Structure 1
């Protein structure tokens, strides 16, 4: 068994079976891929705190370090811990563990705290957030997003599957005091690259393909990004 100790305020330390037994609403129905199943549920901690549990059976990836397969949540745990150290806002890890069941298939869990007050940035746009808070706040949000991505990439971490739905936002305050915060989600494919540039080039081009930023907004985002990253990215 491989496990990250649980937060003792949520559950008994290291208690895989405690979290495996918790059930809640599916927010991502189990789907079959990578030789197994993976899905995400909302569950409650013992104090009623909202948590998200990624529950997997036989869901693995292979690499030269792990030719026989390793649960993808363990790779995601590595990314969450590393990105937190890089001051990239990500869901806070509560528990991560994996074990083999009697038929030698991995069972694996990744439990994180809810990002309180955050919503998908595309929902924020659709709900009139840009119009409500104004262009100065929106420009600050683009700059914060760019700086967040640049910190991740300068650490040589590549998200690997960055769509606009993985960008979350929280705006606090009103008027000139309003401030936007950015968080990133879903690091199942995240890995460290040999160079910061290769991580940056992959993710930024992918984000462009899988977002609906206007040309003007994208140019602003790229300007802020390249300023924070310290060099231009060819093809943006």
Structure 2
């Protein structure tokens, strides 16, 4: 895979001497969380502020994922970058990549992924924490934004795979809300129709335990083009939730 640099970010990165792999790899920054040391390597995330713009810089070494197409493994960021670009092409609201590149050095496979920071956006977990104190109009607008995001995702033939509150980011847009997704590593095509859709949606509803039946029905109302099918979806989602909870 060739190095990628977004046209919108090139001038800024060049001005700061950060428009290539080596410069971003050597940059000294403080990690925003503990390194991920699974998969036999490591992966870390850093915030990068460049005056008028902010980014998250992800670096990894020997942090590989394997698949039928990549039986010997590839950096997990390579997969995430492809999915970011796929979402952009399909018009699914999601985080944006500014730079991606990977390198092989003796004993290592390294990768760098730079994404634009979502300053001004807050994850759904934030809104859920104060759910009861939110005005009803805001609660309804958030539910509708989440339902519409899921609809765009699934109508584009994609399954997120981790459709959780911490991966859904929202911000005010007048009286409504805009929503977008992060963490696209597990995205895959919808292969099994309604089964995959239910499998994608149910974890969100289980983790948003504060939502009432009326809340969930409002979300489904925004998600479904045909309101006649709402009751069937309600039953299917409830059945999967009970199945998952019984396995704990």
- TM-score w.r.t. the length of structure 1 is 0.84
Retained in 2: the 8 A contact 1:28–1:40? yes
Q: Which runs of 5+ in 2 are unaligned?
A: 238-248
Residue in structure 1 matched with residue 105 of structure 2 by the alignment: 101
Kept after mapping to 1: 8 A contact 2:92/2:156:
no
CA contact 1:157–1:191 (8 Å) conserved in 2:
yes
Unaligned runs of 5+ residues in structure 1 are: none
* Structural mapping, 1:48-59, within 5 Å: 48-59=52-63
User: Does the Cα contact within 8 Å between 2:66 and 2:73 map onto a contact in 1?
Assistant: yes
Deviations 1:35-60 (A, max 9, x none): 22122111123x45211012111111
Q: CA deviation at 1:123?
A: 1.4
Partner of 1:36: 41
Distance 1:222 1:179, change over 3 A: closer
Residues 154, 196 of structure 1: 8 Å contact kept = no
Structure in which a larger fraction of residues adopt helix: 2
- Is 1:169 the counterpart of 2:174? The answer is no
Give the Å deviation of 1:202.
Answer: 2.0
Residue 189, structure 1, aligned to residue 186, structure 2:
yes
Counterpart Cα distance in 2 of 1:144 and 1:75: 27
1:116 matches 2:84: no
Structure-1 residue corresponding to 2:241: none
For residues 211 and 63 of structure 1, the distance between their equivalents in structure 2, rounded to whole angstroms, comes to 31
Query: How far has the Cα of 1:228 moved from its partner?
Result: 7.3
Q: 1:140 to 1:77 in 2, by over 3 A?
A: same
Which of 175, 180, 188 in structure 1 is aligned with 2:177?
A: 180
1:114 and 1:85, CA in 2 relative to 1: closer, same or farther beyond 3 A?
Answer: same
Higher fraction of strand: 1
SS state at 1:42 partner: strand
Q: Which residue of 186, 202, 205 maps to 1:205? A: 202
Asked if the contact 1:124/1:130 (under 8 Å) is kept, the reply is no
Show the counterpart of 2:240. Answer: none
**1:163–1:206 Cα contact (<8 Å) kept:** yes
Change (3 A) 1:228 1:40: farther
